[in-house]
Amino acid sequence: MLPSVPSPPHAAQQSTQQVQARTPKGIDKRRHQHDVIWGNITVLTVTDILHVGLTYVSFDAGRQSTVCLNENKERFREHYGVPPEAVVPMFNDLRDKFPDLQYKKALMTLHWLKAYPTERQLSGTWGYGDLKLIRETCKDYARKMASLKEKKIVFGGFDEDETFVFGVDGVHFQTQEFRLTPSSKWFDFKSNSSGLKYEFAMAIRRPAIVWMRGPFPASTHDITIFRDGKEQEKEKWDRNSLYFAMQELGEGKMGIGDSGYGGESEKIATTNYFFSKEFKEFLARVKNREESLHIRLKAYNILENRFRHGKSSEDKMELHGVVVTAITVITQYDFENGKPPFEVQ
């Protein structure tokens, strides 16, 4: 029994752009949509994902046919976080890594991350009656997306002539209280509530997130995360921190950060009064660009709103880390497929 997903609108009802993007002639459209949903096609196209993705969130073929292609893509972004041009390469990479991947479940997970509906709301939209299935599917597919971090978030690749190679900053995300392990360390001073903190770095000369690390309790200082050195002795600092990763770059490479990194002036440049006006403007643009990444991440309601999952403190931190990593990976695909951050130089 094929799922009741309408075939794409007839060419006579579409704009010129939509006519060019319709399902290829000679293909059984109903069967084609069925294959897209269950991942039984060899080549996934932007048209496939756009049409099926919108159909699931109540924009049927008739409604899709009444607006231009760009409007349909904006509808898609509002429900899934990124346009179909970013989803297709990510789904292809996921399919290579997980051959049993189902596109419907992957789309549902994107919708969960972007809109953050409850399980019952997801049940109404996606047609699954088992709430436990929905819960476990979203967690499982978020982990699959997060697993692409090793491929997409890579520290390095900087040009030899670069001195300032990345911008770095910490970002807070709200969570429900850690009631099983109450402590002031969870306090997020920006939202006056409980939260977790992550460290992100973006390359300056190219649209690339090159580093992410976390979660840490929200009260952890940026420079502590940078060193991951809770002890005074450097020998006890965590070798997985950004401080030590920078040593692999060799001499003469620096990052740019805000005043929270003032104690590491040999590795991170912060604004000082004696700098030239031009250099201060350069530093400001790098830091603003880093902030634009935080805005992109918090465009996902699961990160903008209070995170409500996790039975224990450890479970909450682990799952939150999975979600943040998955969204970071998704954002990198978006950077590479039409929506890069603004250029500094």
């921190």: which residue's tokens?
A: 241
| Distance, C-alpha 230 to centroid of its chain | 29
Q: What angle do CA 9, 49, 96 make, to 5 degrees?
A: 150
The CA distances from residue 222 to 171, 178, 207, 304, in Å, are: 9, 21, 23, 20
CA atoms within 13 A on the CB side of 186: 17
Q: Which amino acid is residue 224, in one-letter code? A: T
Whole-number CA gyration radius for the chain: 22
Q: Regarding beta strands 164-174 and 193-203, do their DSSP bridges make them parallel or antiparallel, or are they unpaired?
A: antiparallel
Local confidence band at 21 (pLDDT 50, 70, 90 cut-offs): very low
pLDDT at 42 over 80: no
Written as six digits, the tokens of 105 are: 């479940």
| Distance, C-alpha 179 to centroid of its chain | 28
Per-residue pLDDT tens for 291-345?
999 999 999 999 999 999 998 999 999 999 999 999 999 999 999 998 999 998 6
Written as six digits, the tokens of 263 are: 């104690």
- With 0-12 / 13-18 / 19 or more C-beta atoms within 10 angstroms meaning exposed / middle / buried, residue 319 is middle
**Residue pair 290/169 in contact by the 8 Å Cβ criterion:** yes
Q: Domain ranges for the chain, please list them.
A: 11-147, 153-336
**Residue pair 251/162 in contact by the 8 Å Cβ criterion:** no
The residue length of the chain stands at 345
| Residue 233 CB partners (closer than 8 Å, separation 6+) | none
Average pLDDT rounded to a whole number, residues 267-294 = 93
Report the mean per-residue pLDDT for the chain.
87
Per-residue pLDDT tens for 207-246?
999 999 999 999 999 999 998 866 567 777 778 899 999 9
pLDDT at 2: 35
CA dihedral 323, 329, 335, 340 (to 10 degrees): 50
Buried b (16+ CB within 10 A) or exposed e, 77-114: bebbbbbbbbbbebbebbbeeeeebbbbbbbbbbbbbb
